[in-house]
Structure formats: structure tokens, C-alpha cells
């Protein structure tokens, strides 16, 4: 984990590569439909979740951009009737992208995170931070792909339950120069798997 944190920090500061303008747009708005499952190793607290998300980013300099996102997911226990809860997430941060060649960008980010868990009787709010590092690439003029590693930490008095590492991969197919549809899939180190069907509108030039 320390190596991941160091690499993310170096890349975000622009030390990991030369500062050049890239060919991707980082001005966009994206809405998504979430599917999520969490498997309990003991088989008692398996969860299924469905939700919605919205996110966006805006270029600040040729290599720096700001981003924000929000999501809400309703979870139900597979083996317990009439028991569910909602998880909401909000994040805002800064990202840095460096072109490795004409078709691939190295992308990193740091963010503030807000987590909200709510059921019929109680509400819990947690604040934390996130770190991201990944690649964004092109396969032809219409198809883009991404792979990434994501780390979030909500503290929780220093316990192990407060942090999470996840991996994701996805693509976006551009039907026009500004509109794309795609899918992201991911997993975490806590037996969680998720998928996102995304609808993207580019606000800048690709």
C-alpha cells in the first residue's frame, strides 16, 4: 500500500512523467446505473445492491482537472426478509493526467470522500479520502478503455474496516463525438463486486 500511495502522489504532482497536453477530453458529465453484490464468507450476510450515480469533471489546466461524483445504492440482504439499507457516497477532488503516448494517458487523482449509511432506525456519516491511479486508452476513433486501482480510507478509529482497495476496468463506445455508452466492472478486497452501465456526454474536444 505504501508503494501505491507514493506512486499516486508522484504522478499527481507531475513527477512521474513529462507534462504534455493529451488527446482525451476531461470535460464531461456521466450518469450511471449501479449493480453491486457483497458476499459474506460465512454465507449469512450476503447483499445485493442497485442504485444510480452521477459524476463530472472539468479541465483546469492542460494536465489538471477537477472532478466530483455522487451515488446512492439500496442494499437488501439475500437471506433476511424486510431488512435493507442505503449507502450514499459523495466525492470531490483533483486529478492529473500525463500522456504516455498518443493513445494512452496515465491518470491519477486525490479526493475527499463522504459516506452515508441509512436505514429505518439510524444514520451514519463517515468522512475520508481517496487515491486513484490508472490508464485511459483508445482503440480506434470510437472506443475508449480504462483500468484502475482505487483506495479509500474513512478512518474509523484506525480499524481495518475503514479502508478499501478496489480494481476496475471498463470501456466507452462513442456513438457520436460527444455521446458514449459503456460498462465498468470492479471488485474490492472485501468480497465486493460491482458493475456500472454509464452514459457519457463530452463537453470538450476529444
pLDDT in tens, 83-94: 688 999 999 999
The mean pLDDT of the chain is 85
Per-residue pLDDT averaged across 71-79, rounded?
Answer: 87
Taking CA 68 as the corner, what is the angle to CA 62 and CA 71, rounded to the nearest 5 degrees?
150
> Distance (Å, rounded) from C-alpha 128 to C-alpha 102?
35
Interval 166-180 mean pLDDT: 96
Which residues are CB-neighbours of 90 under 8 A, at least 6 positions away? 68, 69, 70, 113, 114, 116
Rounded Cα gap, residues 40 and 57, in angstroms = 35
Instruction: Provide the whole-model pTM.
Output: 0.83
Give yes or no for a contact between 98 and 14, defined as CB atoms under 8 angstroms apart.
Answer: yes
The mean pLDDT of 13-32, rounded to a whole number, is: 68
pLDDT value of position 94: 98
- Where is average pLDDT lowest: 47-51, 110-114, 131-135? 47-51
- Percent of the chain with pLDDT strictly greater than 70: 82
**Tell me: the pLDDT tens digits for 109-126?**
999 999 998 887 888 889
Contacts of 131 (CB under 8 A, 6+ apart): 4, 5, 8, 108, 109, 110, 111, 150, 151, 152
Amino acid at each position: 500500500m505504501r508503494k501505491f500511495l507514493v506512486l499516486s502522489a508522484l504522478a499527481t504532482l507531475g513527477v512521474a512523467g513529462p507534462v504534455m497536453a493529451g488527446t482525451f477530453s476531461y470535460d464531461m458529465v456521466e450518469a450511471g446505473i449501479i449493480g453491486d453484490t457483497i458476499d459474506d464468507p460465512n454465507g449469512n450476510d450476503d447483499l445485493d445492491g442497485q442504485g444510480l450515480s452521477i459524476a463530472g469533471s472539468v479541465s483546469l489546466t492542460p494536465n489538471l482537472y477537477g472532478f466530483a461524483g455522487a451515488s446512492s445504492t439500496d442494499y437488501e440482504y439475500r437471506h433476511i426478509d424486510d431488512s435493507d439499507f442505503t449507502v450514499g457516497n459523495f466525492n470531490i477532488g483533483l486529478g492529473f493526467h500525463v500522456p504516455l503516448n498518443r493513445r494512452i494517458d496515465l491518470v491519477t487523482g486525490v479526493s475527499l470522500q463522504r459516506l452515508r449509511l441509512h436505514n429505518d432506525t439510524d444514520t451514519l456519516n463517515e468522512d475520508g479520502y481517496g487515491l486513484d491511479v490508472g490508464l485511459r486508452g483508445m482503440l480506434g476513433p470510437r472506443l475508449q478503455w480504462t483500468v484502475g486501482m482505487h483506495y479509500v480510507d474513512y478512518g474509523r478509529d484506525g480499524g481495518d474496516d475503514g479502508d478499501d482497495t478496489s480494481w476496475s476496468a471498463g470501456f466507452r463506445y462513442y456513438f457520436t463525438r460527444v455521446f458514449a455508452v459503456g460498462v465498468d466492472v470492479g471488485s474490492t478486497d472485501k468480497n465486493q463486486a460491482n458493475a456500472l452501465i454509464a452514459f457519457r456526454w463530452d463537453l470538450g474536444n476529444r
